[in-house]
Amino acid sequence: MKRQTLLATALMMAAFGALAKQPVDTGHGGAVATISHEASLAAMQILDAGGNAIDAAVAAAAALGVTDPFSCGIGGGGFMLIYSAKDRRVIAIDHREVAPASFHPGVFLDAEGKELDWKATVPNGISVGVPGTVRGWHEALTRYGTMGFDKVLAPAIRVAEEGFAVGPNFHRINKINEAKFARFSTASALYLQDGKALPVGTRFRNPELAQTYRDIARGGVKAFYEGAIAASMVAAVNHPPVTPGTSVIAGGLTMADLKDYEARIRPPIRSTYRGYEIHGMPAPSSGGIAIAQALNLLETFDLAGKPRAEIEHLYLEASRLAFADRNAYVADEEFVDVPRDGLLSKAYARERAKQIGAGAAPGKVAAGDPYPFEDDRSVPLRPQPKPLAQESMHTTHLTVSDREGNVVAYTFTIEDWGGSGIVVPGRGFLLNNELTDFDFSGPHPNLPEAFKRPRSSMSPTIVLKDGAPAFTIGSPGGSTIITTALQTIVNHVDLGMSLADALAAPRMSQRNGETTLVETLLGFPGSEQAKALEAKGHKWRETDQIGAANAIRFNPDGTVTAVSEPLRHGGGSAIVQKQ
Ligand code: GLU
Binding residues: 96, 437, 456-457, 478
Would the CB of 326 count as within 6 Å of ligand 1? no
Å from CA of 411 to ligand 1 middle: 9
The CB of 477 under 6 Å from ligand 1? The reply is: yes
pLDDT at 578: 85
**Comparing C-alpha atoms, which of 333, 361, 413 is closest to residue 97?**
413
Say which residues have a Cβ less than 8 Å from residue 200's Cβ, sequence separation at least 6.
165, 166, 167, 168, 171
Predicted confidence (pLDDT) at residue 391 exceeds the cutoff of 60? no
Residue 394's pLDDT is 82
CB of 418 shorter than 6 A to ligand 1: no
Burial of residue 428 (CB within 10 Å: 0-12, 13-18, 19+) is buried
What pLDDT score does 427 carry?
98
* Nearest residue (CA) to ligand 1, atom 4: 456
**Pocket lining: 456 vs ligand 1, CB cutoff 6 Å:** yes
89 CA from centroid of ligand 1 (Å): 26
Q: Is 188 in the pocket of ligand 1 (CB under 6 A)?
A: no
- Tell me, in angstroms, the distance from the centre of ligand 1 to residue 14's CA: 34
Ligand 1 atom 7 nearest Cα:
478
Contact 477, 546 (CB under 8 A): yes
Stretch 271-290: mean pLDDT, rounded? 98
Annotation marks residue 395 as catalytic: yes
97 lines ligand 1 (CB under 6 A): no
Percent of the chain clearing pLDDT 70 (strictly above): 94
Separation of alpha carbons 76 and 448, rounded Å? 18
- Using 50, 70 and 90 to split pLDDT, how confident is the model at 6? very low
What are φ and ψ of residue 517, in 5° steps? -75, 130
Mutate to test the pocket of ligand 1, among 133, 173, 413, 459 (most ligand atoms within 8 A of CB): 413
pLDDT in tens, 32-58: 999 999 999 999 999 999 999 999 999
For range 70-99, the mean pLDDT: 98
- Nearest ligand 1 atom to alpha carbon 481: 8
Nearest alpha carbon, ligand 1 atom 3: 456
126-139: pLDDT as tens digits? 999 999 999 999 99
Distance (angstroms) between ligand 1 centre and the Cα of 494 equals 27
Q: Provide the pLDDT for residue 349.
A: 98
Mapping DSSP to helix (H, G, I), strand (E, B) and coil, where does residue 280 land? strand
Q: pLDDT digits over 341-390, tens only? A: 999 999 999 999 999 999 999 999 999 999 999 976 555 555 555 555 55
Candidates 136, 159, 111; CA nearest to 57 is 136
Does residue 288 contact residue 280 with C-beta atoms inside 8 Å? Answer: yes
